Structure 1
């Protein structure tokens, strides 16, 4: 997976628009270098993580964020548990239920650089770092899907994809209506995988998040992949 991420950004030129979509398991582990404000590194779990280990946010940032040069844009769409800051981007858009927002500064106190080399990175993620992303049939009514991925597609198809703010608000509305209620979600967390019977059911608080390498007005910046 790291080789594929390296390939994605290799040889990029001004005007290139890149997309990284991951739908799978995410987790956390103790932060080893003190650059995460909550004390935990967020991780992605590829299919071989049990033998090769999880991919840590520091490594993801180093591979696909820092190398991006001026004129190159990367969108990450991460449908996984604990995924809000999995790209280790400097700023998180903290939006409330009414749609009002502020940018939280997640730059490391150490001064370590987590931005790009002039490019632009914006990430939509399935949930906050302390939350779990649901897999559920409550949305499609046909088969189980990642709630974040479904709500992302639904926001575009329903005409809410004009700005980043309208996208994020629409995604949250979809999930709040169907997932954040008793019996609404089927949760694919690493913990649930280890429980007898595998996946379990129950209500879940899941709020998609938006992070970026720079702050911007989410309701005026046009959304475009």
Structure 2
């Protein structure tokens, strides 16, 4: 059975199944909750995977149960705020997010869907997990605030902001949609011999951000009681956080990823989870 839907963002009219928990607009990719009444048993064991878009996959369902769901009013079209979390002078909220979408719009290798991805993730966090705009940094090339253009320096500063003064009970999210590459590992801490990287908009001039630096910035500082969920939609992103274990989806088991060099790749007592678009030796496709 199908229902008629009108997207609250782009006003596109389309049909969707009444059995779908989440509906995604085919025009602007906005996430829309299906509020049609239907008989079903509630999820068991605190599994909130049914409210996650299917594109994130089964692994996200298993890992994101730590985020408490909530309901929020319908979201209107987004307007970039005049101020952002960088302007907060008081205590930061216990739910913070850095959402980064790089489109490389001036280059031949531009991406079409990254900004849509960022706003879909923003809507998801606000609508279901009680995050607030003032405790988010949204980095895109469309930002009027120069501090929020996804340059290497700005991404690095935003990641430091994300974990600043983190304490027990904090829930942190890092979302990245953009290009990812690999480069030879010269420190002996990669099993496959390559460092994974993300590519800021100015990476040709300023360089890429390597997994070692991402780990040192947002994983190692996590203290007990702090949770970080990173979702990285990029090529070669399998071990982009340099975590000591990864989940093999084919064999359905956790595997060891400890550095051959013996370097410590742990948190300071907190929990870090990473959901990646593909394995280290794979590429991911761009969609609108």
The TM-score with structure 2 as length reference comes to 0.46
Inter-partner Cα distance in structure 1 for 2:197 and 2:238: 10
Inter-partner Cα distance in structure 2 for 1:110 and 1:53: 25
Matched, 1:118 2:274: no
Query: Equivalent residues in 2 for 1:169-180 (5 A)?
Result: none
Unaligned regions of 5+ residues in structure 1, if any?
137-143, 145-225
Matched, 1:53 2:244: no
Query: Equivalent residues in 2 for 1:81-92 (5 A)?
Result: 81-92=235-246
**How many residue pairs end up in the alignment?**
134
Query: Equivalent residues in 2 for 1:31-110 (5 A)?
Result: 31-96=185-250, 101-110=252-261
Match of 1:3 in 2: 157
Deviation at 1:111, TM superposition (A): 1.5
SS of structure 2 residue aligned to 1:135? coil
Inter-partner Cα distance in structure 2 for 1:109 and 1:46: 28
Deviation at 1:118, TM superposition (A): 0.1
Match of 1:129 in 2: 280
Structure 1 outlier segments of 4+, above 6 Å: none
Greater radius of gyration (CA): 2
Deviation at 1:102, TM superposition (A): 1.4
Query: Equivalent residues in 2 for 1:157-168 (5 A)?
Result: none
CA contact (8 A) 2:175 2:231 kept: yes
Deviation at 1:124, TM superposition (A): 0.4
Q: Which has the higher contact order (CA 8 A, sep 6+)?
A: 1
Inter-partner Cα distance in structure 2 for 1:55 and 1:121: 19
Deviation at 1:131, TM superposition (A): 0.6
Inter-partner Cα distance in structure 2 for 1:12 and 1:73: 10
Inter-partner Cα distance in structure 2 for 1:26 and 1:110: 24
